[in-house]
Chains A and B, each alone.
Chain A
Amino acid sequence: MVSDKPRIVKVLDVREESQTVRSLIFEDDPCSKAKPGQFVMVWILGVDEIPMSISMTKADGLAGFTVRKVGEASAALFDMKVGSLLGVRGPYGKHFTNIIGDVMIVGAGTGLAPLMPLSEVLTQNLSSIYMIIGGKTIDEFVFVDRARATLSKTKSEIIITTEDGSYGTKGLATDAMEPILKERQIDMIYTCGPELMIKKVLEIAQEFSVPIQASLERIMKCGIGICGSCCIGRYRVCKDGPVFDSPKLEEIIDELGSFKRDHSGRVAMI
């Protein structure tokens, strides 16, 4: 009988994205059909099960996610080799809805993971894309070459920002938004990354009356909308998100970028 249990898959390829970031590629038919913005629950055998944005899908049944080494679970994933076994459930959650028009993508760090497959879909639609990639310093950048290759297929621009000025323009990713928004009519802004950045993106989008879609992150346990661990306002990130549109983001703006819950459900300031 079919039930939504973890499917055991083998790691087929490990891609070094930066010193602390790797992408793991595996074969799984449902994941290969994931829409941009959806996530997969990844079971690291004997360690934990964590949500990961799908950062790559291929027509031949392959899919991948991208992990930055931060905690125990992500470090265990980071250390996986070709041939290592993983469990996957999903893909789950609300995906980005793509539009045809002029769009802006604002991302930072591994927040770019769900934005990469999105940009690939958007270029197929021949949308013009302004992609702003931010980071603290030059060593932290991932996916820049992939973004350049993808965006070369359409009328687009990539803007790099670093807080220390070591790469691209000195400043925050959000600083690069206003000059573009003043000059052009942008039809949609997509964003993922640190929550304070997302909040700023939302505020700027509101100022220019541009709709936005943002992918959010919270601690997840079930991934299917029943345990409530990933609550934000009246929403569940796993089921009502992870991609939220402007009306929903405006509803949760008090919580956005200000607090989240730990594994016990206790409120912690961001």
Chain B
Amino acid sequence: MQEPDLSIEISSLKMESPLMLASGILGTSIDLLRRVFEAGAGAVVTKSVGYEQRTGYNNPTIVEVYGGYLNAIGLSNPGIKEFHKELSRSKIDDLPLVVSLFGADPLEFREMISLLDELEVKAYELNISCPHVKGFGAEVCQDSKLVGEIIEAVKTETQKPVFVKLSPNVTDIVHTAKLAEDTGADALTVANTFRAMAIDIETGRPILANKIGGLSGPAIKPIAVRCVYEIYQNVDIPIIGCGGVVDWEDAIEFFLAGATAIQIGTGIAYEGLSVFEKIKQGVKDYLIVKGKRSVREIVGLAHGFR
């Protein structure tokens, strides 16, 4: 039998593999992003960049818990101008590079994109869902009017695909998803980490310096799968599933729920960079057993049941 086809397209972004690197993991330098691409990622997303430089929170910024990791890095980033300089001096034309951006208002997003758009950035992902930084991220996601204004502003500034990364820390994620679609998003990344915390019982202290962070990893996978499933029933644009994918079975679940692509982040903490090739092989084997020629054939299949 012919080798199953893993290639997908999300808007104009063509990917050899539906497995992407999630934002916030290893996305600090182009060299590292390239390494992840060479390890088998179909596209790589940078760590979120904002208008101004931010040093982020003090450590501890990451702690392992049962079923995943908590993090509160605090959107540390070099600032858009410095980031632009770094992209300018790097060879990125052959890299399926998605730049993740965060900002407080439509103007910040527009200015960042107008600066980056001349470069070989293949797509943007709007991080309106970071769960632990005041004034950015999930606080934006809770304000429907603001979400719409940001997406519309960004779409007037660029022809490139715009993905919107949604927060699960809202009452109704489907509502935000529909709003993002209506205001011009080309795809949705579903979802981000969940607000959570861990306390050291010996000293009684919250472990993260920021006390509250975001939970990622296997513990959140069923919730993220549910988010993808519900959104798939209500929107037509592609969904990028994100949350706790560690092995190929996890990836298949997301495809069946309705994801066209999936992102891997915390999976790297458990499996290392070989996680991409391992999942790719597992997905191929599954497609062969199920008699499918392409991964595209299984997207949303879980919806066929009454």
- Listed in ascending order, the chain A residues whose CB lies under 8 Å from chain B are 1, 3-6, 8, 41, 43, 45-50, 85, 87, 221-229, 231, 233-234, 236, 261-267
Contacts and interface: CB of A to CB of B under 8 A. Distances in A.
Interface in B200-215: 200, 202-203, 205, 207, 209
B170 interface: no
Secondary structure dominating the interface of B: loop
A266 B32 contact: no
A267 B86 CA distance: 9
Given A222-B62, A234-B32, A46 B82 contact: no
Nearest to A49: B59
B305 interface: no
A8 to B, nearest CB: 4
Contact of A264 (B25, B61, B78, B202): B78
B26 A228 contact: yes
Interface stretch (B100-108, B118-126, B236-244, B265-273): B265-273
B69 to A, nearest CB: 8
Contacts of B35: 234
Given A1-B66, A5-B207, A263-B76, A225 B34 contact: no
Interface of B: 24-29, 31-32, 34-35, 47, 53-56, 58-66, 69, 71, 73, 76-79, 82, 86, 198, 200, 202-203, 205, 207, 209, 265-266, 268-269, 272
A233 B203 contact: no
Contacts of A231: 26, 28-29, 31-32
Given A226-B25, A234-B32, A266 B82 contact: yes
A227 B62 contact: yes
Nearest to B62: A222
16 contacts: A5-B63, A5-B65, A6-B207, A43-B207, A47-B58, A49-B60, A50-B59, A85-B202, A87-B60, A224-B64, A227-B73, A234-B32, A262-B55, A264-B53, A265-B28, A266-B78
Contacts of B47: 228, 265
B76 A226 contact: no
A5 B200 contact: yes
A264 B56 contact: yes
Which of A43, A226, A267 has most chain B Cβ within 10 Å?
Answer: A226
B59 A226 contact: no
Contacts of B203: 8, 45, 85
A263 B24 CA distance: 14
Contact of B200 (A3, A4, A87, A262): A87
